[in-house]
């Protein structure tokens, strides 16, 4: 079906790119600890779920209708992904300086959601990225849906990595760090 052996590492690299949501998770982890950072980082999940759903619906319709449209979206998408990668590298330092005043879990989640839902790059990345891994001739909707779900799972892992990095680098006082193993999430001191 989908070219998973290529999609998973490429998608995870995209999930781990230092964009505004990941920099917020890092900052929250450093300032507020693992639990608050991780819970705040989950605010992006409903936003990304919605953006992926509308991307899947739109792409599925376009790609099912035209092989030419599929090729055009794939080529334009590849160029756009290179552009976004360069922009992320150039702006990573400024993104890392984001600070928040209200530290309640609800406020942290709302902030993460707001950044994700208002970021025009998110839907453009989904539109540009997913078609690169579609297997031509196979049903499109199941492929796009599976890629969307895989993206969301890897996004949770990226949040955990950024929060843990923030906790480790901002460890001026003992905090609880999160770890993920095959048996699930755990907290360690």
Radius of gyration over every alpha carbon of the chain, rounded to an integer in angstroms: 17
Q: Which of 116, 106, 143, 117 is nearest to 23 (CA)?
A: 116
Q: Hey, what are 25's tokens?
A: 């998770």
79 confidence band (pLDDT: 50, 70, 90): confident
Q: Is a pLDDT exceeding 60 seen at residue 176?
A: no
Enumerate residues 6+ apart whose C-beta is below 8 A from 18. Answer: 88, 92, 95, 96
Q: Residue 76: what pLDDT?
A: 76
- Alpha helix segments (H runs only) across the chain: 4-15, 20-32, 34-41, 44-65, 67-96, 105-117, 120-129, 140-169
pLDDT number for residue 98: 46
With a cut of 70, say whether residue 150 has pLDDT above it: yes
Q: Is 179 helix (H, G, I), strand (E, B) or coil?
A: strand
**pTM for this one?**
0.72
């Amino acid at each position: 079906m989908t070219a998973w052996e290529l999609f998973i590492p490429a998608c995870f690299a995209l999930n781990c790119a230092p964009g505004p949501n990941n920099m917020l998770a890092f900052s929250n982890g450093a300032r507020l600890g693992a639990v608050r950072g991780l819970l705040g980082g989950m605010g992006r999940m409903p936003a990304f779920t919605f953006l992926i759903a509308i991307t899947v619906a739109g792409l599925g319709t376009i790609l099912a209708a035209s092989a030419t449209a599929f090729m055009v979206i794939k080529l334009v998408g590849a160029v756009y992904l290179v552009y976004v990668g360069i922009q992320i590298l150039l702006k990573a330092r400024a993104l890392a300086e984001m600070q928040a005043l209200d530290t309640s879990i609800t406020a942290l989640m709302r902030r993460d959601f707001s950044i994700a839902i208002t970021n025009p790059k998110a839907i453009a990345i989904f539109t540009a990225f997913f078609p690169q891994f579609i297997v031509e001739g196979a049903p499109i909707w199941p492929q796009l849906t599976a890629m969307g779900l895989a993206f969301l799972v890897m996004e949770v892992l990226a949040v955990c990595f950024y929060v843990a990095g923030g906790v480790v680098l901002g460890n001026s006082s003992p905090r609880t760090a999160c770890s993920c193993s095959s048996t699930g999430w755990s907290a360690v001191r």
